[in-house]
Amino acid sequence: MKIATVTLNPAIDQTVSVDNFRTNTVNRGQSMSLQAGGKGINVASFLVDAGYAVAATGFLGQDNLEIFERFFALQHINDAFVRIPGSTRTGVKIVDEANIQTTDINLPGQMPPQDALDALLKRIEQLSASYDWFVLAGSLPPGVPTTIYATVIDLLKARGKSITLDTSHDALHKGVLAGPTIVKPNIDELQQLVGHILADEAAIEQAARQLLENGSQLVVISMGEKGAMFVNREASFIATPPRVPVKSTVGAGDAMVAGLIVGHIQGLDLPTCARLATAFSIGAITRTDFHLPAVETLQAYTQQVSVRAYQHSS
C-alpha cells in the first residue's frame, strides 16, 4: 500500500527553543534548528517511519531547494514536487518547554504560476496510477483557488482512491463538500467551519456528524490535551492520551493523520484505530524532530490510551 501526500504551502521550519518565552523583551534561546516542514511533508515522514512507501508532492521554490531535497533523500521519500520561482517560505516556531507552549509565526508563501497549478494536477493524476492513499494537508499559498482541494478530491475519487483532508478556512469548507474519505480538523477549525462555538462533546459530535453527510467515512476532531473524537456512521469514540513529557505540540496532528491511515490500511476497527492514531500523536509531542519513537515505545503509548464510546442521541 503506497501513500502520497500533497503540501501546497510547505515551509522551512525554524524552531527556536526558549524557556519562559516573553514578548516585548530580550529572550535567551537554548537551541535552534532548521527542518523541511509543511503538514503533508510531516505526515510523509511519520509514514516512512511506520514502514510505508511514500511520495510527496506540492510546490517548492527553486531558490532554497537543498534542505528539502536532502530531507527527502534521507527519509527515502519520493520527491514529486513541482518547482516554482522564488523561495519556499520560512515558518518560525518558538518552543517554550518550561511552560509547554509553542508560538508560531507563519508567512504566506510563494504564489505559484498557473502553469505550475496545471502541472501539479497532472502530477497528482500520474501518482494515482500507483499510489492508493492521498493526504491533502495544510494551508494554501497566495493565488491558489480555495476550491483546489475539492478539485483534487474529485479527481482522485473518480480513480477510486482514498483521501484524507487536513486543512482550514475556505479550503476546508470547499474540500469537505467533495467528500474525502477522512476529514481531520482540530476543534478550532471545526468551529470555524460550522460558524459557532462548540461548547461540549454533544455539540462537537453533532458537528462532526454533519460532515459525514457529504460522503466522508470518518471525521476526527483533535482537541489538544483532551484527546480526539472519532466519528463514523455507526459510532463515536473519544480517545484520551496519558500524561507524558511534552517537548513540542508541533506535528501532533500530522502524526495523528499518519496513524489514521496506518489503522485504515491495517483494517483496524474504530476504537483500535483511535488508540493507534492517538499513540502516533503522543509519539510526536515527546520529540521535536517529526519522527516516531521506537516501536516498543509506540506500543506502550498505544496501551496507555483510554478509549470510550460516546453515546450520541438519535
Give the residue numbers marked as catalytic: 254
Cα separation of 107 and 29, whole Å? 21
Report the C-alpha gap between 63 and 35 in whole angstroms: 16
- Phi/psi at 273 (nearest 5 deg)? -65, -40
Number of neighbours of residue 294 by Cβ within 10 angstroms: 10
Count of other CB atoms within 10 angstroms of residue 34: 11
CA–CA separation, 231 and 285 (whole Å)? 23
- The grid coordinates of residue 185 equal 480538523
Those residues with Cβ within 8 angstroms of residue 204's Cβ, 6 or more apart along the chain or in another chain: 187, 190, 198, 221, 223, 229
Strand partners, 186: 222
Q: What angle do CA 289, 290, 294 make, to 5 degrees?
A: 90
Q: Can you tell me whether residue 223 is helix, strand or coil?
A: coil
Strand, coil or helix: 131: coil
